[in-house]
């Protein structure tokens, strides 16, 4: 039980579809993150939110649009994706930003396949 | 530039000891994390080192040398369930983690 829940676990979509990934954390944390994990590559940080405010957009294409309505929920809206966007998308949370020793707690991820 | 290096894959025998190395070059350093990730599952936090030396947690230990830009994760009394990927990550500033590509550990009976 990780305390961070992601849905759906698997998603197959066409390049013209619009879909959303959802993340919910039950840990009382204030910071939330989206990562992209591709095979045999390091985790790539996409977005960071702290107390619902976006603090980091790591040069992510606009076809990925995050939304953070509150400290417990994080969404990633997807549209007009490309085949190279196929990957595992991981959500994480941590107690707060500003202190380097806070471990991040991850969800199981959404495996996204773009046809 | 920023760089985290760790071996791509390692194989070890059940009951044995294995050491997974991680070397790093980053513009800042605010600690080093090790995570374990089983296939299809979430990465889970194993250890955090910010001072030089060895931190022991049961069968797992993590070592850090800041002057050498080097860390290792030591796994003792290996069990089949330890088959997983092990991710090394350096915290550069307040929260930004720079990740290695992970080491896939295969345990054989």
- pLDDT per position as a tens digit, B6-61: 999 999 999 999 999 999 999 889 999 999 999 989 999 999 999 999 999 999 99
Q: B58 and B12 in contact (C-beta within 8 Å)?
A: no
Any B CB within 8 A of A40 CB: yes
CB contact under 8 A, A90 and B4: no
Q: Using beta carbons and an 8 Å cutoff, which residues of B are at the interface with A?
A: 4, 8, 30-31, 33, 35, 40-45, 48, 50, 87, 89, 91, 93-102
Cα within 13 Å of Cα(B104), Cβ side: 8
Q: Is A110 on the interface with B (CB under 8 A)?
A: no
- Residue of A2, A56, A103, A105 to mutate, testing the B interface (most B Cβ within 10 Å of its Cβ): A103
Chain centroid, CA B104 distance in Å: 11
Tens digits of residue pLDDT in A16-69: 889 999 999 999 999 999 999 999 899 999 999 998 888 888 889 999 999 999
For B85, the closest chain A residue by CA position comes to A40
**Quick check: A115 and A12 in contact, CB under 8 A?**
yes
Instruction: With a cut of 80, say whether residue B76 has pLDDT above it.
Output: yes
Question: A97 pLDDT band (50/70/90 cuts)?
Answer: confident
Going by pLDDT thresholds of 50, 70 and 90, the confidence category of residue B93 is: confident
């Amino acid at each position: 039980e990780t305390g961070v829940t992601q849905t759906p676990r698997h998603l197959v979509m066409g390049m013209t579809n619009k879909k959303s990934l959802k993340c919910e954390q039950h840990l009382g944390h204030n910071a939330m993150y989206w990562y992209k994990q591709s095979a045999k590559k390091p985790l790539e940080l996409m977005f960071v939110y702290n107390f619902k405010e976006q603090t980091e957009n790591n040069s992510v294409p606009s076809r990925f649009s995050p939304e953070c309505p509150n400290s417990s929920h994080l969404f990633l809206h997807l549209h007009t994706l490309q085949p190279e966007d196929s990957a595992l998308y991981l959500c994480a949370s941590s107690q707060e930003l500003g202190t380097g020793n806070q471990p991040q707690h991850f969800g199981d991820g959404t495996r996204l396949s773009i046809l | 530039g920023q760089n985290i290096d760790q071996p791509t894959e390692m194989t070890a025998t059940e009951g044995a000891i294995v050491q997974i190395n991680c070397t790093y070059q980053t513009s800042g350093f605010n600690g080093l994390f090790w995570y374990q990730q089983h296939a299809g599952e979430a990465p889970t936090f194993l250890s955090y080192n910010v001072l030089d030396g060895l931190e022991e947690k049961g069968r797992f230990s993590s070592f850090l040398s800041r002057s050498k830009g080097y860390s290792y994760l030591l796994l003792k009394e290996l069990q089949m369930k330890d088959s997983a990927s092990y991710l090394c990550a350096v915290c550069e500033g307040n929260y930004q983690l720079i990740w290695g590509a992970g080491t896939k550990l295969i345990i054989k009976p």
